[in-house]
């Protein structure tokens, strides 16, 4: 492939949304299903989700949370109990109304046995869990309750895009109950920190921790906190949220406890979640015009060995050499799991074979032909470097340095994404610059805002931008609102968003 | 507790079905939810499922299968494509007919936005997966396809019982496509073997591998194979199934490939699954009148340390001693995971505390009071032995022998269950004995049957028994049918079943 050609058409610069779809296709991560707005997550994509699950699950357990499982279907009467919750979720949901199918005169299947009370497929589980908490919690001795579930969720989205917004998606939802609001707020922040660390250390995706404005809050929350990442088109992606629910749900569901002092009190609750959307964020943070780029800590496999066989007489000896190297590499562990090593023995031209792995984003490719075998060497290429950039290493060397190389790739991807984010974040002090910024290339605009929701709505309508968050590391900063001129305004980030 | 009292009321002998419900409650495994026929799986129960998942997932991957994920909702038109499949699953399913809720005049939420085509919540995924296979498979080079998904399933069951039969349940469903029927049949048996080994080696649950008769076959299968276990009430539990689907689904969904010889052929497919029902089987195989009994390899935790504090002055030193022991034990691994160690520091009387862990089925209890601490000892009790049976061990000893003790418990539980199964299995050679057997205590009746479905139906109606399977290890045996007198009949197992 010549340097002016790319494996993915269109390129990011040509058509970013279409490039995104083509990356998913080229890497074989997922495909559109015959079910409206739902995707089929294919093995290479699902393995990324398994790695996300494994790491986060360990972190949740290490912080005292236990997994459990609540039903998929929620009775309508439960949704009815929390007014804001209805408002937020009733708009878009799958409603189960029948419990049987019958065959009609035309021989077609049709719904039969109407239910007395309809159910919705969970868009989130606060209501069912609130009801359970009210039964489980009696005394201060029962607190805190710290639980989590890995589950599928359905929200009837109008416009869907694979991984970023699908009718059904996979997620985890943590739910906790505490004796005091201070403790619940501490939990809300602790889990936000878990998400931020995970995003940066594993997905190599720099994020900004912040608080949402009222208009972007979770329906039924006192405060919603988020991690926001910048994609390569400079738009923001909300990658995880942690909600301080205060006593909204404990009052709707009557979750009370007897305090040590013998007084009846309402608990304070939290909930927090990340979803398969993280995979969309991962794709858009690192991938390039040649395909997917995967941070090694979360990649399904770390290394592919590509035997290069020009002469059938060499086949067996080259494959034996490759198998031996694979076995040695598979003895190694990388960040808590066995090093993943593929050997591609397909009968394809070498270039085509190598490019298929470039597109799949595997961090390291090792080519082994007759020459390499004779010299007890491998030819190493890294996915974060140019396709033609190869390094000859001895067999012994590669086994020794592979984890350092992977760490280096991970660090490089993070640094590259962080630099991109910083270069496209601008502190803006007047409204004209603000408009120019978003009429131009855009990015993250750090500005002062007086807290007026009408301004938010106006900017959304006028420039298509929203307040992504009030960054926590700038929570103390105060200045003049660029929209109203009002003093003592807080610092926020405006951006276009997914 | 006196020896004639039991922690669980009623006992197995008094009322087996109610005993089962009380075990689940006492061990805090799950509870009935406000959603009809669905349960909430609580942390102690869910951790068992996580262990089942972890071990089976490794076995699936080691045999070349990859995980993926298909949508929850299946368009009605897909169900329509496989006639037997409709017959089997359309009777009992959750039908999604609307995509929104509206508030009616009375302020109540009601379904809105009727869908053009209704969906059912997956009762199994052969149809969606068959459709995908028809797109993924073009050439013999694409075969075999070996995939699996961990998912939730909804079947609108009329009579539900926690873990054994619930409207929603969790399972895995493996789906494979092969070039030849021989290869598909090989896969069907290989996965049945995986299930059987897992049940026996991890759940300590002896099983019989067999083939189902036509009347008990999966809708759309050529052959269904199963593992059947005997519960303590001598009834059979189908604990896992593996289906040879032949070309049923490849013909319904047009899954064809171009062979190496350039000929267009239909693939042969298989599917196989186990579910949270395994937990029901686990409970009914080992538990006793004092609560749950857990095989160590699948227990959420292996050991509980119970500090016995009579004098507040000793509290700190005893707790420090317990913590030290816990840390040492947690350094150990047991069958692929960290040894799970709990310390129960609750302010409860020692007996009550110990009994709560007996009921939860934890394999080993270690009591540590002032006397034990002074002697650098622990007092060990095993869940598979009498409550009062204690063994004094030195601190160093317990760390050394703990995994051997756990293995011994696992082996003991298996042996006990196997003996029970053998004692309650009888070879029956005439119809009078057959009737007497099932009018009495019952169990597994090994008999010859001529293959006539009318006899099956009659026995079900008359004695409430069904053919559980044609045991594979007796596939070659032939004899006189005890119902018809016909010669050359095959050997089957009749039993009452869950």
H or E element at residue B7: none
pLDDT at B354: 95
ipTM of this model?
Answer: 0.96
- Please determine, for residue B392, whether its predicted confidence score (pLDDT) is greater than 70: yes
What would the pLDDT profile of B429-486 be if each residue is shown by its tens digit? 999 999 999 999 999 999 999 999 999 999 999 999 999 999 999 999 999 999 999 9
pLDDT score recorded for residue B158: 86
Q: What is the mean pLDDT of chain A?
A: 95
- pLDDT of res. B80: 84
Nearest-by-CA chain A residue for B98: A95
Q: Are the beta carbons of A248 and A84 closer than 8 angstroms?
A: yes
Name the least confident of B1-5, B244-248, B376-380.
Answer: B1-5
Tokens standing for A225? 């906190």
Contacts of B168 in chain A (CB under 8 A): 71-73
Dmax over Cα atoms in chain A, in whole Å? 85
Q: pLDDT value at position B304?
A: 98
Per-residue confidence (pLDDT) for residue B86, from 0 to 100: 74
Please report the pLDDT score of residue A3 as a whole number: 53
pLDDT on residue A81: 82
Which residues, other chains included, contact B118 with Cβ-Cβ below 8 Å and sequence gap of 6+? A98, A110, A111, B76, B95, B96, B97
Q: Report the SS3 class of residue B492.
A: strand
Whether this prediction's pTM lies above 0.90 is answered by yes
User: pLDDT digit string (tens) for B296-354?
Assistant: 999 999 999 999 999 999 999 999 999 999 999 999 999 989 999 999 999 888 799 99
In B, residues 197-216, which contact A (CB 8 Å cutoff)?
none
Does the beta carbon of B75 lie under 8 angstroms from any beta carbon of chain A? yes
Compare CB distances from B95 to A40, A74, A98 and report the shortest one's residue. Answer: A98
Give the gap in angstroms from C-alpha A39 to the nearest C-alpha of chain B.
Answer: 7
Instruction: Look at residue A5 in the predicted model and tell me its pLDDT.
Output: 83
Tokens of A75: 């009775």
Cα of B14 to nearest chain A Cα, Å: 29
Given a cut of 90, whether residue B117 has pLDDT beyond it is: yes
The pLDDT of residue A108 is 87
Q: What is the CA radius of gyration of chain A?
A: 26
Partners of residue B86 in chain A, C-beta under 8 Å: 101, 103, 109
Q: Do A80 and B111 touch (CB under 8 A)?
A: no
| pLDDT band, residue A106 (cuts 50/70/90) | confident
Closest CA relative to residue A80, chosen from B104, B453, B491, B197: B104
Q: What is the mean pLDDT of residues B17-27?
A: 98
Bridge-based pairing of strands A236-246 and A489-495 is unpaired
DSSP code, position B288:
B
Q: What is d(CA B488, CA A87) in angstroms, rounded to the nearest whole number? A: 69
Residue B146's pLDDT band (boundaries 50, 70, 90)? very high
Q: pLDDT per residue over A196-209, tens digit each?
A: 999 999 999 999 99
Closest-CA distance of chain B to residue A145, Å: 11
Report whether pLDDT(A167) > 70. yes
Asked if A288 is an interface residue toward chain B (Cβ–Cβ < 8 A), one would say: no
Averaged pLDDT for residues B8-29: 97
User: Do residues A227 and A473 touch, judged by C-beta distance below 8 A?
Assistant: no
pLDDT at A140 > cutoff 90:
yes
> Which residue in the set B40, B47, B75 is minimally distant from A35, CB to CB?
B75
Residue A86 has pLDDT above 80, yes or no: no
Question: What local confidence, expressed as pLDDT, does residue A89 receive?
Answer: 75
Q: How close, in Å, is residue A97 to chain B by CA atoms?
A: 6
Q: Quick one: CA dihedral A406, A407, A408, A410, positive or negative?
A: positive
Residue A1 binned pLDDT confidence (cut-offs 50, 70, 90): very low
Q: Kindly determine whether residue B34 and residue A100, on different chains, have CB atoms separated by under 8 Å.
A: no
Size of chain A in residues:
498
* Cis ω for the linkage preceding B400 (within 30 of 0): no
Q: What is the pLDDT of residues A317-362, one digit of tens each?
A: 999 999 999 999 999 999 989 999 999 999 888 799 999 999 999 9
- Helix/strand/coil for B271: strand
Total residues belonging to chain B: 498
Give the pLDDT band (50/70/90) at residue A4.
low
Are B220 and B482 a contacting pair, CB within 8 Å?
A: no
User: What's the gap in Å between the CA of A333 and the closest CA on chain B?
Assistant: 15
Q: Rounded distance, CA A70 to CA A148, Å?
A: 10
A173 touching B (Cβ < 8 Å): no
Q: Which of A423-437, B72-86, B315-329 has the lowest mean pLDDT?
A: B72-86
DSSP letters along A93-118, please?
Answer: --EEEEEEEEE-TTS-EEEEEEEEEE
**Out of B101, B147, B156, whose CB is closest to A93?**
B101
Helices (H), A343-495: 350-360, 370-374, 395-423, 431-439, 453-463
Q: Scanning the structure block, which residue is given the tokens 């949304």?
A: A17
Kindly give the interhelix angle for B277-286 and B395-423, rounded to the nearest 10 degrees.
90
| Among B35, B100, B168, beta carbon nearest to A93 | B100
DSSP class of residue A291 equals: B
Q: Rounded CA gap, A366 and A364, in Å?
A: 7
Mean pLDDT within B9-15: 97
Contact A305, A344 (CB under 8 A): yes
Percent of chain A with pLDDT over 90: 92
Instruction: Using a CB–CB cutoff of 8 Å, tell me whether A96 touches chain B.
Output: yes
pLDDT tens-digit map of A357-380: 999 999 999 999 999 999 999 999
Q: What is the pLDDT of residues B214-249, one digit of tens each?
A: 999 998 899 999 999 999 999 999 999 999 999 999
- How far is residue B291's CA from residue B131's CA, in Å, rounded to a whole number? 46
- Quickly list DSSP for A398-412: HHHHHHHHHHHHHHH
pLDDT above 70 as % of chain B = 99
Angle at B406 between CA B277 and CA B376, to 5 degrees: 140
In this predicted model, what pLDDT tens digit does every residue of A293-307 receive, in sequence order?
999 999 999 999 999
pLDDT confidence tier of residue B1, bands split at 50, 70 and 90: very low
Q: What is the pLDDT of residue A430?
A: 96
Q: Which residue has the tokens 């590259």?
A: A416
CA-based max dimension of chain B: 85
Inter-chain touch A95–B99, beta carbons under 8 Å? yes
Query: What is the phi-psi region of residue A400: left when phi exceeds 0, alpha when psi lies from -120 to 50, beta otherwise?
Result: alpha
- What tokens were used for B351? 């007996």
As given in the structure block, the two tokens for residue B178 are 């092969």
């Amino acid at each position: 492939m010549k340097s002016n050609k790319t494996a993915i058409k269109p390129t990011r610069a040509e058509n970013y949304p279409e490039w995104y779809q083509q990356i998913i296709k080229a890497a074989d991560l997922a495909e559109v299903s015959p079910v409206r707005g739902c995707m089929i997550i294919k093995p290479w994509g699902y393995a990324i989700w398994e790695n996300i699950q494994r790491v986060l699950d360990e972190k949740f357990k290490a912080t005292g949370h236990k997994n459990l499982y609540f039903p998929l279907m929620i009775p309508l009467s439960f949704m009815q109990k929390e007014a804001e919750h209805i408002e937020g979720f009733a708009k878009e949901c799958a409603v189960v109304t029948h419990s049987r199918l019958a065959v009609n005169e035309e021989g077609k299947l049709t719904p039969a046995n109407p239910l007395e009370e309809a159910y919705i497929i969970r868009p989130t589980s606060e209501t069912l869990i609130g009801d359970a908490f009210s039964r489980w919690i009696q005394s201060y001795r029962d607190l805190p309750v710290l639980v989590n579930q890995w589950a599928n969720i359905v929200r009837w989205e109008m416009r869907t895009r694979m991984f970023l917004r699908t009718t059904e998606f996979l997620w985890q939802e943590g739910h906790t109950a505490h004796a005091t609001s201070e403790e619940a707020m501490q939990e809300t922040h602790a889990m936000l920190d878990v998400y931020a660390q995970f995003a940066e250390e594993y997905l190599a995706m720099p994020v900004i921790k912040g608080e949402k404005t009222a208009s972007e809050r979770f329906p039924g929350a006192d405060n919603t906190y988020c991690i926001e990442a910048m994609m390569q088109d400079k738009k923001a992606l909300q990658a995880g949220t942690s909600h301080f629910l205060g006593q909204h749900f404990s009052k709707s569901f009557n979750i009370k406890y007897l305090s040590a002092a013998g007084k009846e009190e309402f608990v304070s609750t939290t909930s927090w979640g990340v979803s398969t959307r993280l995979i969309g964020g991962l794709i858009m943070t690192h991938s390039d015009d040649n395909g997917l780029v995967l941070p090694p800590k979360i990649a399904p496999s770390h290394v592919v060995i590509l035997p290069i066989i020009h002469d059938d007489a060499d086949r067996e000896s080259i494959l034996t050499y490759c198998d031996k190297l694979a076995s040695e590499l598979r003895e190694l562990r990388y960040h808590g799991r066995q090093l993943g090593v593929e050997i591609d023995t397909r009968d394809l031209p070498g270039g085509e074979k190598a490019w298929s792995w470039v597109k799949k984003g595997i961090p390291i490719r090792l080519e082994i032909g007759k020459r390499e075998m004779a010299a007890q060497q491998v030819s190493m290429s890294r996915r974060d470097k140019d396709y033609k950039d190869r390094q000859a290493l001895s067999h012994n060397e590669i086994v020794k340095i592979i984890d350092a190389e992977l760490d280096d790739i991970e660090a490089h991807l993070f640094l590259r994404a962080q630099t991109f984010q910083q270069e496209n974040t601008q502190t803006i002090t007047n409204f004209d610059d603000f408009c120019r910024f978003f009429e131009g290339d855009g990015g993250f605009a750090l500005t002062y805002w007086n807290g007026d929701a009408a301004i938010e709505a106006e900017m959304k309508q006028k420039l298509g931008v929203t307040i992504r968050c009030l960054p926590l590391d700038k929570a103390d900063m105060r200045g003049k609102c660029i929209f109203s001129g009002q003093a003592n305004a807080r610092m926020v980030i405006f951006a276009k968003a997914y």
